[in-house]
Amino acid sequence: MLNKMNKMEIAGLAVAGLGTIAGLGIAVYTKIKTNKESKEIEQIMETVSDCTEEINELLKQTGAIED
């Protein structure tokens, strides 16, 4: 099949293939990066939640807020 194609057609196929590979690479990188960042955000939210509970408990003990 390649014998029947001219150099420009073959070059076009090569560029298209490289573009596809690059696109897939970017998609995989983005997926990995966003998963990592979402785990970090979840950890931060857990820390904030724990701190909120502790602050509320301290405020209840001092009488600053009621149940």
Residue-level pLDDT at 2:
61
* Structure tokens, 56: 């509320």
Instruction: List the end-to-end C-alpha distance of the chain, in Å, as a whole number.
Output: 79
pTM for the structure as a whole: 0.59
CB 67 within 8 Å of CB 60: yes
Query: Average per-residue pLDDT in the chain?
Result: 91
- Quickly tell me which residue has 């897939």 as its tokens: 24
Q: What is the pLDDT of residue 1?
A: 62
pLDDT tens for 4-30 read 788 899 899 999 999 999 999 999 999
Q: Tell me what pLDDT residue 67 has.
A: 63
pLDDT tens digits for range 35-52: 999 999 999 999 999 999
